[in-house]
Structure 1
Amino acid sequence: MPPRRTHTKSRAGCTKCKKRRIKCDEVHPSCGNCVKHAIVCDFSSAAGMSPAGVISTAPSSSSELPVSSPMTLDASPSPGNGQHQAMTPHQQGFFPQSTVTTVSPVINMTDMELLHHWTISVPSSLTGKDDIEFIWREVIPRLAFRESQGCLVHAILAISALHLAFVEPDKRAQMMCTAADHYGEAVRGVKDSVGVPTAIKKDNCEGLFASSTLIVVYAIANPMLTEKVSPPTEIPPWTMPAWLPLIRGVHSILKAVWTWIETGCLSPLLNGHNYVGDSAGEDDAMNALFQICTDKREQDADEIKDSAVSQAYFGAIHELQKNFANEIALRRKMVSLIFIWPVSVSDAFFTLLQERRPRALVIFAHYCVLLNKLEGFWWVEGRANYELERIERTLPEPWRKWLEWPIKMIRGG
């Protein structure tokens, strides 16, 4: 007769196995016998706790999925391409059978802070009108959450970070880096969306318009904050500010779908684009601008003998005149006014401005007076004087007398 096999008694087995007087393999979170008989093992609910990554009680139906515990806010990916590792046979008996794998959620708390800051602070800082503030606070975030490219979400976060950099100097360097990252993503998203003109449709043109507007706001505000972090040792000569070609580029891309934007949910943002004022031709400053484009006794008189050049100057002055008339007639600060003139001037004038022709710079200095009327908005603060200082640095001495009116209006005195 063969000797009896020795065995070790199970003293830490589950209650179910002890009641049935059978050996328990003590496998957690569910022993082999309980798995075999499809019953809930009391290991799984012992002390109401379970191993990390496993839920504490059995799901009531196969439609419920396991919940990661604890949930990480900035989790590192689990082994296996960011998914949970394969379950053991015993675990498979405990978890519901499903082809769906779970991934630990990742929440960027900085972005959450920026989104919260946008909601409570930023919309009122972009405009002085309640109806337009509502658009920025309520309508535009909804547009952002439904777009596929994500450019509007990044644009919102970029501006929120830039505003935090403005109002909280101790966070300035950090927030400006964050803003730059989101700005880059927003620009890439817009470029991808407008790369094929036929891809701009009624259902995405409003999101592209809002994204592009915020990109322009960033381009206006960023140099001012950059100088607060790292002041220049001297005032550099004037160069074309990035936001001017941005405004023109956005307009050229979206003008084909402008009717959809004008009649859509963002239409309040366009208030003020129509000319409603009387002529401001009597204004001494505007008359002085016309003079430098007609008086042959002025410097570089040969330039204005070219009819194409003189027409470009006249057109730019006329559009600026209309904008001042609008501002006077409506008697309120209209953010849209600073966007109108850059898209109204001709390509010929824009080229002259890029070439830093003195007449073009003097006309642009007068436009800065209009820009200065929005000085109360943080993203425009200091920009008019910023441009004027550089124009002074760039203009030859004989032309600086034509800056007297802009200097007076922007700096006072």
Structure 2
Amino acid sequence: MSPPVNVTHAELAFHFSMATTSPELDASLVEMGNQVVVREAIKSPFLLYECLAVSARHLSILHPDRQDFFMRQSVQLQTKAIAMFNATESVDESNCVASVLFSSILNRHALIDVLANRDGDFFSFVDRFVQSVLLQKGIRVVSKEAWPQLLESDLRPIMKWATPDRDIGTVGHHCDELRRLISLTAALEPSEKEACRGAIHYLQLAFDSVTNPTPGKSAHQIVYVWGIFLPDVFCALLKAHRPEAIAVMAWYAVLLHQSRDNWQVGDAGVFMLNSIGDFLGPEWAHWLEWPFAMLRDGLH
């Protein structure tokens, strides 16, 4: 008797592409990435299951009439992928490429889910966002441990392309008013202000990359990895729902809105900024003048 074929899993496998999980990749890197993913997924089932999971997530957007079905598939496959990865004893030369691919795809998948989830109140949204940031930070640890091996692997071109130029100075002035407000507030301790300034630094780097893209880099890449670089103290402020940290998120909402054509983002920027405005209330309106002006004026 011939073994059964799971047609759904075949559909998900045929649909998967690095262009789906990372639409900002250029065509040559997509082709190379697809080849590496196929090779590594066969050896490391946790990567295979996560590829199927994010493929199902994308199909849930493309086919609204089958949205519930594909969403269930996505959750089930992602849960299985995480369990398999957690059962892996260590990240070493034999599985470092698969582990980093898995972690980066899972990170993007988690962010997609957070941005799309409108259940509950704004507190719930912020809590889910913080959880996704902690996941991103875990990915950074995996990548750091495996970095020497990755630079010798087939993944080297994508890793170099995807790594933001974090050490360069900022040139734009999109966040000047936000920096000023953070400096003036009496509600934050010096260490908390410094953490906010760290988060703002990467926001300005992101605005700079959109305004003046670096050749060979994606203008929107840092939008998806901003959470990796957030200081722990800033994450704690977010977790505590401190209004100053929530206000910083308004600038991130503008960046998301600039990426609204990406299926992974959609109207998340508008939703986030409106939710922040409702949460902070009229007394914080002067903090949010610039973000709301950017959305109102079409980001010009």
Which TM-score applies when normalising by structure 2? 0.85
Structure 2, unaligned runs of 5 or more: none
Task: Name the structure 1 match of 2:34.
Answer: 137
Distance change >3 Å, CA 372–CA 277, structure 1 → 2? farther
Superposed displacement of residue 226, structure 1:
5.6
Superposed displacement of residue 340, structure 1:
3.8
Match of 1:275 among 159, 165, 177: 165
Total equivalences in the alignment: 291
Write out per-residue CA displacement over residues 227-275 of structure 1, whole angstroms, 9 at most, x where no aligned residue: 5xxxx6x864442314222111211233222232344222333315242
Task: Name the structure 2 match of 1:109.
Answer: 7
Whole-angstrom CA distance in 2 between matches of 1:153 and 1:294:
47
Task: Name the structure 1 match of 2:230.
Answer: 345
Percent same amino acid at aligned positions?
23
Aligned-residue CA RMSD (Å): 2.6
Task: Name the structure 1 match of 2:53.
Answer: 158
Structure with bigger helix share is: 2
What is the 5 A alignment of 1:253-264? 253-264=142-153
Task: Name the structure 2 match of 1:407.
Answer: 292
Superposed displacement of residue 390, structure 1:
2.6
Task: Name the structure 2 match of 1:184.
Answer: 79
What is the 5 A alignment of 1:367-382? 367-382=252-267
- Give 3-state SS (helix, strand or coil) of 1:379's partner: coil
1:313 aligns with 2:204: no
Contact persistence 1:280–1:324 (CA under 8 A): no
Contact persistence 2:60–2:67 (CA under 8 A): yes
Write out per-residue CA displacement over residues 38-60 of structure 1, whole angstroms, 9 at most, x where no aligned residue: xxxxxxxxxxxxxxxxxxxxxxx
Contact persistence 2:53–2:77 (CA under 8 A): yes
AA aligned to 1:207 is: A
Whole-angstrom CA distance in 2 between matches of 1:251 and 1:384:
25
- Give 3-state SS (helix, strand or coil) of 2:241's partner: coil
Whole-angstrom CA distance in 2 between matches of 1:411 and 1:333:
25
1:330 aligns with 2:227: no
Q: Which has the higher contact order (CA 8 A, sep 6+)?
A: 2
1:288 aligns with 2:182: no
Whole-angstrom CA distance in 2 between matches of 1:367 and 1:286:
11
Which TM-score applies when normalising by structure 1? 0.64
Distance change >3 Å, CA 371–CA 365, structure 1 → 2? same
Whole-angstrom CA distance in 2 between matches of 1:385 and 1:250:
28
Superposed displacement of residue 179, structure 1:
0.9
Whole-angstrom CA distance in 1 between matches of 2:251 and 2:5:
47
Distance change >3 Å, CA 274–CA 167, structure 1 → 2? closer
Bigger Rg over Cα: 1
- Give 3-state SS (helix, strand or coil) of 1:107's partner: coil
Superposed displacement of residue 162, structure 1:
1.1
Superposed displacement of residue 170, structure 1:
0.9
Superposed displacement of residue 279, structure 1:
4.5
Contact persistence 1:164–1:172 (CA under 8 A): yes
- Give 3-state SS (helix, strand or coil) of 2:255's partner: helix
Superposed displacement of residue 224, structure 1:
5.5
